[in-house]
């Protein structure tokens, strides 16, 4: 038996992070906008005793709501607060609302609108807005905690190390069930000692990576002393191909980081050494972006899709579309659709031969489709299915992933996000055949840059660059 027996409760529960946090984040955005407008109305009623708000006051309220749209979108108030205390969030909320009210006054002065309004109304409006925002956050936290206590929106975690810090973390997570983190067990580090009573021992470091992959664990908490740098580096090396979030208590510098950040969970200071760039509202924003753009694009290119399908059918015997096995989000295997560009042929099991210049397997129409990337248009169906994004790291063959993950540093970190139809690497000329290790390293470097610097504007920029120059590639055979 490779691993210690897992409690029945844990064996029966396969949990993956849900979208409750993202939905709560967007719900809070709407609630904050409503709070600004609603607080103004209530403040008017308290100050003047009726609801017939004058036009001048209405203009100020409307201006505050409009200014709140960019201010709240750019603030850090809606990032994941799983396990964080409410009082840690209130100063950020008060600062954002204070900025909105301050900008409202400045814009009123700039537009020469009357600003000598009732000071009591202004004070009541601001105070009620703060109180409403805090109340909404308290309700959201209670709702999230209730959902997690019912066994939904949970993340699974394992501890590495069994010292005092590990015991403190496990106890805190058990007490604060609203944090939504379930500890599956702990891994022993030889020479460091320590035990975690009432927590399953899952093995030692040699078995860590296999367990993480087999159980699809979401988080790995490293609770080793700072003097155990070699063990920590060994752990990061063992998890180089894992998409689990890695958290370390306390601080340690000088290691390979990816989207690292500092947060507080269950009252404990935690540093994310590697984490997904798409968490919370970013994940929901990315999903909305993909679905909206893919729907519009598919409707626009429907005649082109039909024409290509007819051409492929007439070019050579075989199906119009074919599926390729690729690694998707979190390294899970997905099927990617393409227009068939080669004559039907068979390859040895486990072998994938990349297309090369002058490849005899490619039809004349197929050569054109591959050169212009039109063979990849059916992947918009993958986007609508939710297995791909419009922008992201290009998916490689499963066999190539097995080959390169041991040769290119952080190669499998590309799978922290959904694969894309186009990406930063492709619009910068890194597309087509990767016949040398250097080409693959540069492509991975570009993919990691995209993950570190993702934003909606970067996605739109890549889409625009793809339209202008991305469809034609000298290296696409």
> For residue range 256-280, what is the model confidence (pLDDT) as tens digits?
566 666 666 666 667 677 777 776 6
Q: Is the pLDDT of residue 323 over 50?
A: yes
Give me the domain span that covers residue 253.
Answer: 8-15+153-274
Rounded average pLDDT over 359-374: 81
pLDDT at 420: 92
Domain boundary (115, 149, 183) is at: 149
Name the phi and psi angles at 262, rounded to 5.
Answer: -110, 135
Q: Are 77 and 24 in contact (CB under 8 A)?
A: no
> Considering its fold, how many domains does the chain have in total?
3
- Residue of 233, 350, 344, 219 lying closest to 274 (CA atoms): 219
pLDDT band of residue 7 (cuts 50, 70, 90) is very low
pLDDT band of residue 2 (cuts 50, 70, 90) is very low
Q: Is the pLDDT of residue 187 over 60?
A: yes
Q: Is the pLDDT of residue 255 over 70?
A: no
- Residue 248 bridge partners (DSSP): 222, 271
Rounded average pLDDT over 46-62: 88
Asked if residue 475 is part of any domain, the answer here is no
C-alpha of 59 from chain center: 38
Please state whether the predicted TM-score (pTM) of the whole model is above 0.75: no
Average pLDDT, the chain: 80
pLDDT in tens, 69-111: 888 877 767 665 555 556 667 777 888 888 888 888 888 777 7
Helical residues (DSSP H) of 49-85, grouped into ranges: 55-74
Do 92 and 192 lie in a common domain?
no
pLDDT at 125: 92
Domain boundary (253, 274, 295) is at: 274
- Strand-by-strand arrangement of the 155-160 sheet: 201-204, 181-188, 155-160, 219-222, 245-248, 268-274, 261-265
Name the phi and psi angles at 221, rounded to 5.
Answer: -100, 120
The CATH number of the domain holding residue 262 is 3.40.50.720
Q: What is d(CA 28, CA 34) in angstroms, rounded to the nearest whole number? A: 10
Asked if residue 247 is part of any domain, the answer here is yes
Domain boundary (223, 244, 274) is at: 274
Do 125 and 197 lie in a common domain?
no
Q: Is the pLDDT of residue 8 over 50?
A: no
- Residue of 224, 267, 229, 227 lying closest to 247 (CA atoms): 224
Rounded average pLDDT over 181-185: 89
């Amino acid at each position: 038996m490779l691993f210690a027996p897992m409690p029945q409760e844990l064996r029966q529960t396969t949990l993956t992070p849900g979208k409750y946090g993202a939905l709560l984040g967007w719900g809070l955005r709407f609630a904050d906008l409503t709070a600004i407008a609603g607080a103004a109305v209530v403040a008017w009623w308290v100050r003047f005793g009726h609801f017939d708000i004058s036009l001048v006051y209405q203009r100020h309220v409307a201006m505050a709501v409009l200014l709140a749209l960019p201010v709240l979108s750019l603030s850090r108030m809606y990032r994941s607060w799983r396990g964080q205390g409410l009082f840690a969030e209130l100063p950020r909320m008060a600062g954002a609302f204070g900025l909105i009210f301050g900008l409202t006054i400045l814009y009123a002065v700039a537009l020469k609108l009357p600003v000598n309004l009732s000071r009591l109304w202004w004070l009541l409006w601001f105070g009620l807005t703060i109180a409403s925002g805090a109340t909404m956050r308290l309700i959201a936290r209670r709702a999230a905690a209730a959902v997690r206590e019912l066994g939904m929106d949970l993340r699974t975690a394992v501890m590495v190390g069994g010292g005092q810090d590990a015991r403190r973390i496990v106890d805190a997570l058990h007490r604060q069930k609203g944090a939504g983190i379930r500890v599956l067990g702990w891994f022993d580090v030889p020479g460091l000692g320590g035990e975690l009573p009432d927590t399953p021992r899952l093995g030692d470091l040699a078995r860590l990576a296999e367990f993480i992959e087999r159980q699809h664990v979401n988080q790995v908490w490293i609770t080793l002393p700072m003097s155990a740098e070699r063990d920590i580096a060994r752990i990061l090396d063992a998890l180089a191909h894992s998409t689990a979030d890695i958290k370390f208590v306390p601080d340690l510098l000088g290691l390979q980081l990816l989207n690292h950040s500092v947060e507080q969970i269950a009252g404990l200071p935690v540093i994310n050494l590697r984490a997904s760039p798409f968490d919370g509202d970013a994940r929901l924003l990315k999903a909305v972006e993909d679905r909206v753009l893919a729907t519009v694009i598919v409707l626009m290119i429907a005649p082109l899709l039909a024409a290509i399908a007819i051409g492929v059918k007439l070019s050579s015997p075989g199906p119009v579309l074919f599926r390729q096995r690729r690694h998707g989000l979190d390294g899970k295997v997905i099927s990617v659709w393409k227009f068939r560009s080669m004559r039907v042929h068979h390859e040895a099991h486990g072998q994938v031969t990349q297309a090369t210049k002058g490849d005899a397997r490619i039809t004349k129409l197929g050569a054109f489709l591959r050169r212009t990337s039109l063979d990849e248009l059916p992947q918009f169906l993958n986007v609508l299915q939710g297995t791909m994004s419009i922008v992201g790291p290009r998916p490689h063959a499963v066999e190539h992933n097995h080959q390169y993950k041991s040769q290119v540093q952080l190669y499998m970190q590309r799978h922290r996000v959904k694969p894309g139809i186009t990406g930063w690497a492709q619009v910068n000329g890194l597309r087509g055949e990767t016949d040398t290790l250097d080409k693959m390293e540069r492509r991975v470097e570009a993919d990691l840059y995209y993950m570190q610097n993702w934003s909606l504007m970067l996605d739109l920029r890549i889409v625009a660059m793809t339209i202008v120059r991305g469809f034609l590639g000298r290296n696409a055979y």
